[in-house]
Amino acid sequence: MEKGLIEVLMEICDEKGISPDVLFDALEAALVAAYKKNFNSSQNVEVVIDRETGGIKVFAQKTVVDLVFEENEEIELEDARKINGNYELGDIVNIEVTPRDFGRISAMTAKQVVTQRIREAERGIIFSEYTEKTNDIISGKIERMERGNVFIDIGKIEAMLPEKEQPRGESYELGQMLRCYVSEVRSGTRGTQIIVSRTHPGLVKRLFETEVPEIGEGIVEIKNIAREAGSRTKIAVYSNDPNIDAQGACIGPKGTRVQNISDELRDEKLDIVKWSEDPTEFITASLSPAEVISTDIDEEEKTAKVVVPESQLSLAIGKSGQNVRLAARLTGWKIDIVTAG
């Protein structure tokens, strides 16, 4: 191995973020296997690469014994001390056995090992980079669709949007830009796999955090989210500043903030609910946009009986029970709606 090749390897290590020791250790281990295969040897050997000159040497390793039974593995004490007078029984003696044409084999092996290590390093970098994006939003272009799954080009890798993570009724086209929530990053034999979602409540949360500065600044908090993707979401918000209206901040001037989020979610309805420590107030607010006459709660059973005007009953319950179902999930209370009278 020429010195120039060592310099190239060091540059590769620096560029790809690979430890030189890791690369050279892998090379030496691979060269041991290559030596045994090409020279039909079963003896214990060690390959040493000079980190400065690139020189490669193969050493047969033999144990110092009184009487030799296995010539490939053992050496008598008397013979060992001819090499070095300090050897004792049980020591390991390295005897150079480097073949003349080992350089050609070394070059081929080095190429294979370096290629493999670069691939592994790049996989590690990608896995680390996208692991940090878990629970965040990424954007990309749809490049293909197979068996109901959508594959998105996000730069160094593609992400998969499984069919089960797609809101009902949402359609996609090749070349379309899409924003998704990173729900899982997996590392396997085929490399890093990014699983994204358009149904996860976290997508709504991150969109609000991006769109509403007061949330990013910690003035407004998102307390909880209940979502039926593609149809309706209820989000409970609270302001730590009495001078800032949490709902108003999320809605934005002329409703621009909430409209931008709704557009991103393909016109999904968004109910912004004022969170309260008082369960009566919170449950009442959670049934928005329906009007509530009164709310009676049973803290022991964690149930609430909500009275609404007869004209508001269908609105409070919602289509197929959606409004009350989301309100119950948002508040954590079982809600029973009745009319006045």
End position of a domain, from candidates 93, 121, 149: 121
Q: Is residue 231 part of a domain?
A: no
Q: Has residue 169 been placed in a domain?
A: yes
| pLDDT above 70 for 341 | no
- Give residue 22's domain range: 3-121
Both 60 and 86 in one domain: the answer is yes
pTM strictly above 0.75: no
Q: Which helix H or strand E contains 183, and what residues bound it? A: strand 177-188
Distance CA(156)–CA(6), nearest Å, equals 28
Tokens of 273: 């609910």
Query: What's residue 4's pLDDT?
Result: 64
Enter the tokens of residue 193: 């796999």
Tell me, yes or no, whether 105 lies in a domain: yes
Q: Is the domain of 111 the same as that of 165?
A: no
Judge contact between 65 and 89, C-beta under 8 A.
yes
Domain end, chosen from 80, 97, 121, is at 121
- Tell me how far apart the alpha carbons of residues 233 and 250 are, in angstroms, rounded to a whole number: 14
Structurally, the chain folds into a number of domains equal to 3
For residue 162, being part of any structural domain is answered with yes
**Alpha-carbon gap, residue 341 to 335, rounded angstroms:** 19
For residues 81 and 150, membership in a common domain is answered with: no
Residue 256 identity: T
Q: What are the start-end ranges of the H helices in 58-101?
A: 77-83
74 & 50 share domain: yes
- Identify each DSSP E strand in 189-314 by its residue range: 191-197, 220-228, 232-239, 269-274, 294-298, 303-308
Lowest mean pLDDT segment, chosen from 41-45, 71-75, 284-288: 41-45
Structural domain contains residue 81:
yes
- Shared domain check, 83 and 8: yes
Helix axes 3-16, 102-131, angle to 10 degrees: 10
Q: Pick the closest to residue 205 from 144, 147, 270 (CA basis).
A: 270
Residue 252 domain flag: no
pLDDT of residue 1: 54
Cβ-based neighbours of 13, under 8 Å, separated by 6 or more = 19, 20, 23
Domain harbouring 319, CATH code: 3.30.300.20
Of 175, 197, 219, the domain-final residue: 197
What percent of the chain has a predicted confidence (pLDDT) above 90?
67
Using pLDDT thresholds of 50, 70 and 90, give the confidence band for residue 82. Answer: very high
